[in-house]
Amino acid sequence: MLTNTDIPLIAPMRAECSPVRYDRETRTFCSALRLINVDREPLIGRLQVIIAGLPAGVSLADATGSYWGNPSLWVELDEILLPGASITLPILFRRKGFWSFLPFRYDVLICLESRQWECPSDCLALAIA
């Protein structure tokens, strides 16, 4: 679990995860992460979405950065994300070794400019055939 004394008690975003599906062509487990602006203010800028707590052998296949040793995705908000609005990001997991899929939970941390929040997420990756 990532901790930081600057994380406010109420995050301006909430994360929701879709079920995971195996893509035989790319040999990845595909999911989607929906980020919802639950703040009263619009958001704009560059987001760093950090995926923390992945089990050993599982990686974020489409990572574009890292933060404290955790894989991350950089997302440019080209338009203002109004209160209640959301964006959906594809998430690709890769597992080393045997291609079975075991359920796992992961945490989502969002950084926007110089601020960061731990998003309420409780993401559980479950494979769907």
Nearest residue to 88 via CA among 98, 72, 77, 99? 77
Whether the model pTM is above 0.95: no
Q: Quick one: pLDDT at residue 100?
A: 61
- pLDDT above 70 covers a percentage of the chain that reads 74
pLDDT bin (cut points 50, 70, 90) of residue 84 is very high
Q: What does the pLDDT read at residue 83? A: 92
Domains of the chain, start order: 13-128 (2.60.40)
Rounded distance between C-alpha atoms, residue 16 and residue 108, angstroms: 10
Beta-strand runs (E) in 9-122: 13-17, 20-23, 28-37, 43-52, 58-60, 65-67, 70-81, 86-95, 104-112, 115-118
